[in-house]
Amino acid sequence: MQFISKKARAVTPYTAGEQPRGAQFIKLNTNENPYPPSPRVKAVLDAFDPAGLRRYPDPASGRLRAAIAQAEGVSPDCVFCGNGSDEVLALCFPAFFGADEPACFPAVTYTFYDVFAHLFDVPFARVPMREEFYLDLDRLADTPCKGYLIANPNAPTGVGIGREEMAAFLARVPEKLVILDEAYMDFFGQSCAPLIKTCRNLLVVKTFSKSYALAGIRCGYALGDPALIDALTRAKDCFNSYPVDALCEAVCAAAVLDRDYYAGTLARVREERERLRGELLALGFTVPESAANFLFAGRFKADGGTLYRYLKEHGILVRFWDKPFLRDFVRITVGTREENDALLAALRALAAG
């Protein structure tokens, strides 16, 4: 159609995981937290006065930035808030990269990076993995670029890189920007957020969707040197001055400070992750050790596509990508014990057949 731009026709958008409505599926495909958010969230929702919604929210998200700063042990001018970590990551491209300022990221990682680079006309390099599931930090460091995007733990493999190893990588590339996408970091406990105080080239991006069980509210944030935060703010204000609504700000400001509650849910997810991985290994799956709230499982008697379809027929959703390297695997969110047992029962039936 003549009204559609060349860019819109050429770009391949990101494909989100299935979001069926209703209770017909056990949903283990989009890495949502199987447990509810903090009770403080309900208290905020119960007390929220809808009359305030006639006013625009604070464009600077001051209340939320202050709460995040307190939780992370930094100053508020080191915090940026956006409409989900995906928006924060998208704004990184116009804020830090350009036509002659290429980005670099691993060949197997969060596929939104590729989409963002194409959308903003940013050249990029994909760096092959070391072995099968591990990032090659040496090769990343040697790749000419303006900066890196690194998901840690990585998606969709779940493999994590410890803080000491990542600090050594940062020391090797002091003149390059390092954007660490720590969407799943709370399930690992090796965040590099403390390093922003000494590494001016580090930006850490986090989300409320996973460990905080707030995927439906859409909020994410970045931590970094105030100059990096200012660049993100400039990009944001060219796009949407009010990305965090008033209800979202109130809810997330309460959630981020309830560390005791979330420590309990994180422990339950980790315990189930290890149990589920052990059962999958016993069935004959290849499953790299995960630092996230999901498992990358494959090389079973059926390929990833067959597994995905079989499980969907049995009322269980997992994530499958029909791409090289990925198509022999599915990504499985760690659910409740009951959900995981249903998954295992279906897989045992398949293995026995």
137 near 156, Cβ under 8 Å?
A: no
Digit-coded pLDDT (tens) for 182-195: 999 999 999 999 99
User: Over the stretch 104-113, which tens digit does the pLDDT of each residue have?
Assistant: 999 999 999 9
Average pLDDT of span 90-98: 98
Predicted confidence (pLDDT) at residue 22 exceeds the cutoff of 80: no
Domains and CATH numbers, the chain: 6-37+259-352 (3.90.1150.10), 50-255 (3.40.640.10)
CB 188 within 8 A of CB 160: yes
Handedness of CA 325, 329, 330, 332 (dihedral sign): negative
pLDDT digits 0-9 by tens, 205-263: 999 999 999 999 999 999 999 999 999 999 999 999 999 999 999 999 999 999 999 99
**Cα separations in angstroms, 144 against 97, 138, 159, 167, 173:** 13, 12, 25, 20, 11
Average pLDDT, whole number, for the chain? 96
Asked whether the predicted pLDDT for residue 49 surpasses 80, the reply is yes
Reading the block at residue 264, the tokens are 């309990």
pLDDT band at 74 (very low <50, low <70, confident <90, very high): very high
Residues with Cβ < 8 Å from 22, sequence gap 6 or more? none
Q: Collect all residues with Cβ–Cβ distance below 8 Å to 171 and sequence separation of at least 6.
A: none
d(CA 24, CA 96): 43
Q: What is the mean pLDDT of residues 146-173?
A: 97
Predicted confidence at residue 23, as pLDDT, reads 67
Q: What are phi and psi of 97, to 5 degrees?
A: -125, 165
Helix (H, G, I), strand (E, B) or coil at 329: strand
pLDDT band per the 50, 70, 90 thresholds, residue 24: confident
**Type of residue at 160:** G
pLDDT band at 116 (very low <50, low <70, confident <90, very high): very high
Residue closest to 82 by CA, chosen among 210, 187, 237, 197: 237
What percentage of the chain has pLDDT greater than the value 90? 92
Question: Of 97-101, 174-178, 198-202, 322-326, which gets the smallest average pLDDT?
Answer: 322-326
Helix and strand element counts for the chain (H, E): 12, 11
pLDDT at 20: 86
Q: What is the distance between the alpha carbons of residues 55 and 242, in angstroms, rounded to a whole number? A: 11
pLDDT value at 99 more than 70: yes
Contact at 8 Å (CB) between 40 and 254? yes
Residue 301 has pLDDT above 90, yes or no: no
pLDDT of residue 144: 96
